[in-house]
Amino acid sequence: MPVIRFVREGRDVECYPGENLREVALREGIALYGLKGQLGNCGGCGQCITCFVDVVGESSPGSLSGRTAVEEQKLRRRPQTWRLACQALVNQSVLVLTKPQTGLADLDQKVQKAKAEPLAAGPTAWPVQASEEDPADETTTSDEEA
Ligand code: FES
């Protein structure tokens, strides 16, 4: 299972290979967007250019899917390591900096520390949405309480 290390947040999140980076970040409560993106974003269509991440490390080349045509166009004036999270699929473990356009006082230290620490294994179960939880579990809990 790939692990996404969010450097700014100091969190490791495991995902299934091929998962969309934006979707994983939002599911895990990672603050992916700056103010502009919070006020309005395209919902992952690659049009608003507010879901930037900087890929600061990879477990191997190609940890993320290749840049899409949308990214080539929208990111042509940005560093080559920047990606649109909504366009990137996670194939292998990767270290990313969210909101790279926003300063971070101890950025170099955080990046060095993130690169130095081995990636944690993380949980292995598919994340379950609260609405998808098995109602039988609630029944079991109620029975146990009675
Ligand atoms: S969410 Fe709009 S470009 Fe990624």
Q: State which ligand 1 atom lies nearest to the alpha carbon of 86.
A: 4
Residue with CA nearest ligand 1 atom 3:
46
Torsion on CA atoms 136, 124, 84, 44, rounded to nearest 10: -10
Q: Say how many Å lie between the CA of residue 2 and the centre of ligand 1.
A: 22
8, part of any domain: yes
Domain count, the chain: 1
Indicate yes or no: pTM above 0.75.
yes
Query: What pLDDT, on a 0 to 100 scale, did the predictor assign at position 71?
Result: 96
115, part of any domain: no
DSSP class of residue 120? P
CA 46 → CA 15, 18, 52, 71, 75, distances in Å? 21, 17, 10, 8, 11
Q: What are phi and psi of 144, to 5 degrees?
A: -65, -35
- 10-residue mean pLDDT series, the chain (146 residues): 93 93 97 92 95 90 93 95 97 94 90 86 59 58 46
Q: Is 25 in the pocket of ligand 1 (CB under 6 A)?
A: no
28, part of any domain: yes
Query: What pLDDT, on a 0 to 100 scale, did the predictor assign at position 135?
Result: 59
Ligand 1 pocket check: which of 51, 78, 89, 96 to mutate, most ligand atoms within 8 Å of Cβ? Answer: 51
Contact between residue 37 and residue 84 where contact means Cβ atoms under 8 Å apart: no
Q: What CATH number corresponds to the domain at position 91?
A: 3.10.20.30
Query: What pLDDT, on a 0 to 100 scale, did the predictor assign at position 110?
Result: 93
Contact between residue 46 and residue 84 where contact means Cβ atoms under 8 Å apart: yes
Domain that holds residue 73: 3-107
